[in-house]
Amino acid sequence: MNWGRNRRGVITMSPEKAIVLVTGSNGRIGTAVMERLTGRFSDVVGFDREAATPPPADCVSIPVDISSDGSVREGLRILREHHGTHIAAVVHLAAYYDFIGKPSPRYDEVTVNGTGHLLRGLREGFMVERFIFSSTMLVHQPGEPGQFITEDWPLGPTWAYPESKVRTEALIRGERGDIPAAILRLAGVYDDVCHSPPLAHQIQRIYEQQLASHLYSGETSHGQAFVHLEDVVDAIERTVDRRSQLPPDAVILIGEPETLSYDELQHTFMRLIHGKSSETQSVPGLIAKVGAWVQDHIPGEDPFIKPWMIDRANDHYALDITRARELLDWQPRHSLRKTMPKMIAALAADPVGWYREHGLEPPASLRAEVARGAPEAPEAVDAGACQVHVCPMHPAVCQSSPGSCPKCGEALEPSSAPSQGAEYTCPMHPEIVRLEPGRCPKCGMPLELLKVPEDRYA
């Protein structure tokens, strides 16, 4: 921030005259970063596939498909013409992920090659003070309880998503040229509502009292580090602020120093949801994998737990965040233990809404309960003011805020205005069909996208 005086002589703060570029700006982290830095810097600009075309006059959001070299170059051309060539920081969040576990060409197209497109374009036409890349703690080999992973811990990704991050980190080191880089290896991100697919599905299993909620194929004393969304944004903001003070090849782990075991998560969620807890039974890995495989092949089923996850049940990640404290003067202000009651309170306040927010299908008993208690004639909702975000690959996944699809990892697309040829229906009253988003006139539930318009994939 810069200090100045207004016409009355009162000391005021004015935004720092600098460009900050955020890729993946419509995602959950990207949106939060944009909101945090807007007002602190004169030019905070986002790259995202779903930005308006053509860019608006203020040009705070530019349509860019990071996987396309031509699209990236066009976006950088617009950035240069509207804002200049001196960039204080690039916060590179755009990436691909899913929980399928298998290699996908999208990892190379989006995460690896997309980063290459961006770096080459930046080197050719801009002066960049710091390139900040969002990586993951999962690039490291898992540890054991009692061990704390540092930035120098051996690399050893165990599935496709962190493997793509390892390749991208290597690309950044090889192609950044004179651009200083900072690689932030994040723990699993959550917020007050949850918005963490592994935690949300664990809550779902316990809430519905599924048999799987009492079974586990790994050591329940193992666990993985997490970090609150607000603390992630704090870390990114501090990295931007200290961009000129950090080493040119900084690597920093970002997460909570306390890792909760699977056992503690289970017992705490059970007590918060049902008022009591029970012991989790150990299941041999082979039997668990067979069960997951069978469930994964049942027509109409799309279970979260995949066979490959059984092999990862014993992975343990506890972080030593000494470097984050020293270089960024950062440490988390939140903790998963203290936030878990907030997650369950959000679930209890609006179970169906919580399920929809996390891309989960409410159980039939919950839908029936809502139907019995729903008002007969709720007030009409202005569909034009009701913005929903929908997965282009899984139209049933929709939520009120930006984010990524919990099934495939694709960025959710905003759908605030009626789409030509789109149809929306109520999951409880399929006879209700509308041509625009809104709420069911019978039960008040948000309408789901039933028919995808033909031009969606054009």
Position 403 scores a pLDDT of 64
Position 213 scores a pLDDT of 66
d(Cα 217, Cα 77) in Å, to the nearest integer?
A: 52
Per the CB < 8 A criterion, the answer to whether 225 and 292 are in contact is no
390-434 pLDDT, tens digit per residue, is 666 565 566 655 666 655 656 667 664 444 556 777 766 676 777
Position 108 scores a pLDDT of 96
33-77 pLDDT, tens digit per residue, is 999 999 899 999 999 988 766 665 566 899 999 999 999 999 999
Per the CB < 8 A criterion, the answer to whether 166 and 139 are in contact is yes
- Number of neighbours of residue 291 by Cβ within 10 angstroms: 19
200-226 pLDDT, tens digit per residue, is 989 999 999 887 666 666 677 899 999
DSSP assignments along 229-275, one per residue: HHHHHHHHHHHHHTTTTS-TEEEEEES-S-PPBHHHHHHHHHHHHHS
325-376 pLDDT, tens digit per residue, is 999 999 999 999 999 999 999 999 999 999 989 988 888 877 776 666 654 4
Rounded to the nearest 5 percent, the helix, strand and coil shares of the chain are 35, 20, 45
Position 311 scores a pLDDT of 63
* Pairwise pLDDT comparison (113 vs 412), residue with the higher score: 113
Exposed (0-12), middle (13-18) or buried (19+): which is 152, by Cβ within 10 Å?
Answer: exposed
Inter-axis angle of helices 197-207 and 336-349, to 10 degrees? Answer: 60
Exposed (0-12), middle (13-18) or buried (19+): which is 158, by Cβ within 10 Å?
Answer: middle
Q: Which two tokens stand for residue 364?
A: 């039939």
Kindly indicate the confidence band of residue 242, based on its pLDDT and cuts at 50, 70 and 90.
Answer: very high
**Range in 13-17, 190-194, 215-219 with the lowest mean pLDDT:** 215-219
Per the listing, tokens 């919990």 go with 406
Q: Which two tokens stand for residue 252?
A: 């920093």
- Number of neighbours of residue 124 by Cβ within 10 angstroms: 10
Per the CB < 8 A criterion, the answer to whether 181 and 251 are in contact is no
Phi first, then psi, for residue 335 (nearest 5°) are: -145, 145
290-306 pLDDT, tens digit per residue, is 344 345 544 544 554 55
List CB contacts of 163: < 8 A, sequence separation 6 or more: 103, 107, 157
